[in-house]
Amino acid sequence: MSKETTRSVWYEIIRGPIITEKATRMNENGQIAFRVASNATKPEIKAAIEGLFKVKVTAVNTINVKGKVKRFRGREGQRSDYKKAIVRLAEGQTIDVMTGV
101 — pLDDT class (breaks 50, 70, 90): very low
Residue type for position 67:
G
Higher pLDDT, 20 or 98: 20
d(CA 78, CA 74): 13
User: For the segment 16-55, what is each residue's pLDDT rounded down to a tens digit?
Assistant: 999 999 998 998 889 999 999 999 999 999 999 999 999 9
Counted domains in the chain:
1
Give per-residue burial for 33-54: e unless 16+ CB within 10 Å, then b: bbebbeebeeebbbbbbbbbbe
Query: Quick check: pTM over 0.75?
Result: yes
d(CA 67, CA 56): 31
| Residues 58-91 pLDDT 10s | 999 999 999 999 999 999 999 999 999 999 999 9
Quote the pLDDT of residue 100: 55
80 is a domain residue: yes
Which CATH number does the domain housing residue 55 bear? Answer: 3.30.70.330
CA 47, 13, 27, 53 dihedral sign is positive
Domain with 30, as residue range(s), is: 3-89
Phi, psi angles (nearest 5°) of residue 75? -100, 140
Whether 10 contacts 32, CB under 8 Å: no
Position 8 confidence tier, pLDDT thresholds 50, 70, 90: confident
Q: Is residue 97 part of a domain?
A: no
Question: How would residue 3 be classed by pLDDT, with cut points 50, 70 and 90?
Answer: low
For position 97, what pLDDT does the model report? 75
